[in-house]
Chain A
Amino acid sequence: MILEVQNVSKNFGGLQALLNISFSLPEHQILGLIGPNGAGKTTLFNVINGVFPPSRGTILFRDEDITGLKPYDIARKGMARTHQIVKPLNELTVRENVMVGACFGHKALGLHQARLVADEVLEFLGLNNRADQIAASLNIAQKKRLEMARALASQPYLLLLDEVLAGLNPSEIAAMVETILQIRQQGVTIIMIEHVMHAVMNVSDRIIVLDYGQQIAEGTPEEIAHNPKVIEAYLGDPKLAQRLQEGNGYGDTRGE
């Protein structure tokens, strides 16, 4: 198992953002993480990669207890992530942004090596013609890809993707899904938070559903799509529930 989350809870003051989450993730799999807005998906990422310590519970990464470690410690152990709300290093060029990931993440490369890796990754994500632009000048779809490029440049074992498809048009979604599958092919394990149902249903080996901080279901995409609890959780959003069952639909129902 590359990642084991054991009875993890997180509360913010009185708000129970996560309650008793447990799952194990084998290597080379793609785990989908879905749930309505405010379910606690991003919070789970934040707890896994050390942005907040969990209130209770344990997290093992590659058989090592990483509970309570700082994000930079965890990054150096080989976990990388993207942010739902992008965090570009605005005044640096796109290439320099990616070099930060390569220099300080898992592989901790020197500047020279980092530059080579950055250019490779930028090429892979189709940002190579933007390499010398400052990051602030990118549009939102490009900034999402930049998030991915920085994460990939560290050559992680585990990649956490927080809504990288949100705000993309159908053809961009298709391209990104292809990219995600290629990343997995290179041996990277992936957890992806996604609202675009057909995509997450298609690429995930397993799916976990969160609702109000609770893990209400876990299973194959097939099982999840027919799970009555899941459908109920999405009932607040009937259209989304319907799409879930149909397994198609392009839907980020929320505005970015």
Chain B
Amino acid sequence: MNAWRTPGIWVALLVILAIGLMPIVLKSDATREVVFTVLLSVALASSLNIILGYTGYVSFGHIVFFGLGGYVGLYALNVVGLPLWMAISAGGLAAGLLAFLLGKAILRLRGAYFALATIGINEAMRAFVINFPAFGGAIGISLNFRIYREYGGATSALWLTYYLMVAFTLLAVALSYAIKTSKFGLGLIAIRENEDAAEVMGVVTPNAKTWAYVLSAIIPGMVGVLFYFKNGNIEPGDAFRLHFSIELLVMVMLGGFGTVVGPILGAAGYQRLRGILLTTPVLKDIQLVVAGVLLLLIILFIPSGAVGWLRHRFPKLRQVLP
């Protein structure tokens, strides 16, 4: 049975593509900015889902890969003078490498210990960057505006990053699906369900977990480059903000961890909610509180998220809803 013959995944990819085309058809900068944020969330949440949802390891500080990618990318563009595509690759490579090195060390920890370790790594990375002159220390890196000129000026550079964002979101979702339906993915889910049983059945857990972590880090590293290229500058305070990590967790949990569609719906739903909160004066400042309460409610009442709940409620959906 070929997994790519299932319609569900194509529907998901087509919906993302359709949403991605909207700002292009409308020629609207405002829509583009909104959709960019949603797509970024989808790409990040889908990537986080590989380690969190499939493997069952809560990576609380996952934003570290996004931030590191951004730093490496801007450094590559600004200082080394590499073209954008190489900067993006470098960002992905750096994130993947960090995950690989960390994986060997901290994936031996189970449960809350792993989650805590990932927070520690995010904070350690921030501290390191602040004290690392090549990355601009506490000030960070500002992109030299001349670089935009190589991409046809600021406006067309913005559109270029947008097209790339659409492509990376599609890639993230396709990768998530490819992993889930592969033998490797079956091993990851076995680890999530019972790591001891998985080991006894022959799943080489240290390797599987490390590769899951690497695969969940690469795309965040790459879109980190995109985001900060578009942003024009990066600072340690922004790049490693733990609350982004928490928001990503909310998205994955809201949509349904361990499913392919869950993080897509969760990310889109959460960003809509956030939009409403930010434009409502009373709620503007308590946006994070709402995220926290939401996470709590999900864990208490629908621990498997919206898609997980649907799949439980209607078992037939398992075949169509990846």
A interface, CB within 8 angstroms of B = 49, 51, 70-72, 75-76, 80-81, 83, 87-92, 96, 99-101, 103-106, 108, 110-112, 114-115, 150, 154
Q: Does B109 make an interface contact (CB < 8 A)?
A: no
Nearest-neighbour CB distance to chain A for B78, whole angstroms, equals 45
Residue among B1, B194, B202 making CB contact with A104, cutoff 8 Å: B202
Contact A110 B193 (CB under 8 A): no
Give Cα A111–Cα B180 distance, bound, in whole angstroms. 12
A5 to chain B, nearest CB (A): 18
A-B contacts, 13 of them at CB < 8 A, read A72-B199, A72-B203, A90-B194, A91-B189, A100-B186, A100-B190, A100-B203, A104-B201, A104-B204, A110-B183, A111-B183, A112-B1, A154-B202
Contact B200 A81 (CB under 8 A): yes
Docked complex Cα distance between A29 and B193 (Å): 33
Question: Is A106 touching B189 in the complex (CB atoms < 8 A)?
Answer: no
Alpha-carbon distance between A88 and B190 when the two chains are bound, in angstroms: 9
B residues near A (Cβ < 8 Å) are 1, 182-183, 186-187, 189-190, 192-194, 196-205, 258
Q: Which 7 A-B pairs have the closest CB atoms?
A: A75-B202, A104-B202, A89-B193, A87-B197, A105-B202, A71-B199, A104-B203
Given contacts A91-B193, A154-B201, 4 further A-B contacts (CB under 8 A): A96-B189, A100-B190, A104-B203, A110-B183
A1 to chain B: closest CB distance in Å? Answer: 23
Chain A residues whose CB sits within 8 angstroms of the CB of B202 once the complex forms: 71-72, 75-76, 101, 104-106, 108, 154
| Residue of A72, A108, A114 most packed against chain B (CB within 10 A) | A72
Q: Which of A51, A105, A111 contacts B201 (CB 8 A)?
A: A105
Residue picked from A49, A87, A100, most chain B C-beta under 10 Å: A100
Q: Which residue of A lies closest to B187 (CB)?
A: A104
Cα separation A92 to B182 with both chains bound (whole Å): 14
- Cα A71 to Cα B195 with chains together (Å): 11
User: Contacts A88-B194, A91-B193, A92-B189 hold; do A70 and B183 have CB atoms under 8 A apart?
Assistant: no
Q: How many whole Å from A225's CB to the nearest CB in chain B?
A: 32
Closest to A108 in B: B202
Smallest CB gap from B181: residue in A = A111
Contacts of B204 in A (CB 8 A): 72, 104
Q: For residue B108, give the distance in angstroms from its CB to the closest CB of chain A.
A: 12
A51 / chain B contacts, CB cutoff of 8 Å: 196, 200
B200 touches A75 (CB 8 A): yes
Nearest CB on B from A208, distance (A): 22
Q: Are A150 and B189 in contact (CB under 8 A)?
A: no
- Taking CB atoms, residues of chain A closer than 8 Å to B190 are 89, 92, 100, 104
> How far apart are the CA atoms of A72 and B196 in the complex, in Å?
10
CB distance from A158 to the nearest CB of B (A): 13
Query: A150–B183 Cα gap in the complex (Å)?
Result: 15
Q: B200 touching A90 by the CB < 8 A rule? A: no
In-complex Cβ contact of A103 among B186, B194, B196, B197 (8 A): B186
In the complex, how many angstroms separate the beta carbon of B307 from the nearest chain A beta carbon? Answer: 13
Residue of A nearest to B204 (CB): A72
Contact A83 B183 (CB under 8 A): no
Contacts of A90 in B (CB 8 A): 193-194
Q: Is the CB of A99 within 8 A of B205?
A: no
B204 to chain A, nearest CB (A): 5
| Complex alpha-carbon distance, A81 and B196, angstroms | 12
Residues of chain A within 8 A (CB-CB) of B197 are 83, 87-89
B199 in contact with A111 (CB, 8 Å) = no
Contacts of A99 in B (CB 8 A): 186
A73 CB, nearest partner CB in chain B, Å: 8
Q: Smallest CB–CB gap between A92 and chain B, Å?
A: 6
Q: B residues within 8 A CB of A80?
A: 201
Given the known inter-chain contacts A87-B194, A87-B196, please indicate yes or no for A101 contacting B186, CB distance below 8 A.
no
Do A89 and B183 touch (CB < 8 A)? no
A101 touching B194 in the complex, CB below 8 Å, given contacts A110-B183, A111-B186, A112-B1: no
Least Cβ distance of B172 to chain A in Å? 22
Contacts of B183 in A (CB 8 A): 103, 110-111, 114
A100–B200 alpha-carbon span in the complex (Å):
10
Complex: A76 Cα to B187 Cα, angstroms: 14
Residue of A with least CB distance to B196: A87
Chain A residues whose CB sits within 8 angstroms of the CB of B199 once the complex forms = 70-72, 75
Complex interface: chain B residues within 8 A of A104 (CB) = 187, 190, 198, 201-204
